[in-house]
Chains A and B, each alone.
Chain A
């Protein structure tokens, strides 16, 4: 019979640490590897016309995209995408702040904004093409028109819902309008704004592809369609793969930025959950 219990702290044996890392890696790549293997077997046993084998896909990927095509097609597309995203953020946040802070402006614009955000962005492509010609500017405009909405609307909501006690604190200390905006309104709205940016990233990627479908002679989207029309199946798939990778890259970059900008927000959430 023990009279007392003592807690003895033993350091975790090194093998346990490595086992944990191994476990995490297994989970991370386990299913993908299984899927690729199944896919490989299927392709060998029952080759389908429109589905290349993993080996073919990899080869096509390297051949197509690692080379001149990267510079002539991929980089310009990515460049337009980046400019479009940056413009969307700037326009969305600036306009959203103005509209969110001025009640009369918001009430004036609300019906029109609700309507415009409901218009499916691809539909505006024919109009943009004819008004601006098949230029880079047109493609960027299409990207912005579609991806500005989540940012704009989230900024409006975020700016509107500043905590009343925080606002009174600012007033009681007679903060200037600039300080009020910079140190209170915008930081308080930043979680919502970042949520909007995240949504707009996926929309921007879709519109980047769409803006090149049928109205372009170069670019990633154009190339994928080109491959399809010419029955270059493996190449087409490699383009799809590349798009997926770009999407992941975007999400990863966003994750990094968001974790930095919203460090305080995540901190609070952690404290609340504890």
Chain B
């Protein structure tokens, strides 16, 4: 959304984020200088060439990794450890869900230490399972379900947690194309019906344009924000019609070109003031 019209409050603030990995063979600067802002209720997608440190960025934002320098603020507070108002959906759903818990048990687990009454907790769980369409599978175990359904469980778990921001790390990369389309629509529905703020990392350009209200394009390593693109497609999106729009094609081509430039290292980093 254009800066001049921004009236919503800033939810996530990332400034001059830098992450250097030290190893015996030398230092690897995974992230050079990343900065962006995300408002409450936005759906922001992050794309970049392979190996540009998208996962590193997410882990720093989620408080799972300590940045070398820079600031990550969530809701005005600095992030030093996983903040309580954030939920993560990982790419490897098979390793993120606990196989000794049922679907319901998995969704319930993060809620256990929130001070909630039994009734409230059950309501949240049922609500989340219905939202992802898995209310009939509550008693199954994750490994009895297909990949797409397992990822839905992970999403339900995040939704039930009622976070202020939902972070998704290439969640549909390991899922087949048809299921991916369904899951993308699920994400948009959650965003629109519940006003969830979502930060979505992907390598799929089409997906980023289809889902996002903004697309942030990352450069090659050492990574910086190459472009912050506003997606001016209508909020009501549809797999068939939206993807057939000329504007969609324009936007995706633009993003594609940006990524190609990033891969070739052609984009020049603007010197900040």
Chain A residues proximal to chain B, CB less than 8 Å: 163, 165-166, 168-169, 171-176, 179, 183-184, 187-188, 190, 264-265, 267-268, 271
Contacts and interface: CB of A to CB of B under 8 A. Distances in A.
Contacts of B100: 187-188, 190, 264-265
Contacts of B63: 172
Contacts of B81: 174
B113 A175 contact: yes
B90 interface: yes
Contacts of B84: 174
A159 to B, nearest CB: 15
Contact of A172 (B64, B101, B113, B143): B64
A10 B16 CA distance: 72
Given A179-B109, A268-B99, A171 B141 contact: no
Contact of B98 (A171, A172, A174, A187): A187
A85 B171 CA distance: 45
B42 to A, nearest CB: 20
Contacts of A165: 90, 92, 95-96
A162 B210 CA distance: 37
A172 B99 contact: no
Contacts of A166: 95-96, 98
Nearest to B94: A165
B95 A173 contact: no
Nearest to B62: A172
8 contacts: A168-B90, A168-B96, A172-B64, A172-B87, A184-B98, A188-B98, A264-B99, A264-B100
Given A168-B88, A172-B62, A271-B143, 5 more contacts: A169-B88, A174-B81, A183-B109, A188-B98, A188-B100
Interface of B: 59, 62-64, 81-84, 86-88, 90, 92, 95-96, 98-101, 109-110, 112-113, 141, 143-144, 161
A171 B92 CA distance: 16
Contacts of B82: 171-174
User: 9 closest A-B pairs (Cβ-Cβ)?
Assistant: A173-B110, A165-B95, A172-B88, A187-B100, A264-B100, A169-B96, A268-B143, A172-B82, A264-B99
Contacts of A183: 98, 101, 109
A141 to B, nearest CB: 34
B208 to A, nearest CB: 22
Nearest to B101: A183
**Majority DSSP secondary structure for residues of B touching A:** loop
B143 A267 contact: yes
Contacts of B95: 163, 165-166
Contacts of A174: 81-84, 110, 113
Contacts of B113: 174-176, 179
A123 B101 CA distance: 44
Contacts of A264: 99-100, 141, 143
Contacts of B101: 183
Given A179-B113, A183-B98, A172 B144 contact: no
Contacts of B92: 165
A179 B141 contact: no
A175 B110 CA distance: 7
A173 B143 contact: no
A169 B141 contact: no
A269 to B, nearest CB: 10
B173 to A, nearest CB: 14
A183 B87 CA distance: 18
Contacts of A173: 82, 87-88, 109-110, 161
Nearest to A172: B88
Contacts of B144: 267, 271
Nearest to B90: A165
Contacts of B86: 172
Contacts of A175: 109-110, 113
Residue with the highest number of chain A CB atoms closer than 10 Å, among B62, B63, B83, B95: B95
Contacts of A179: 109, 112-113
A132 B129 CA distance: 60
Nearest to B93: A165
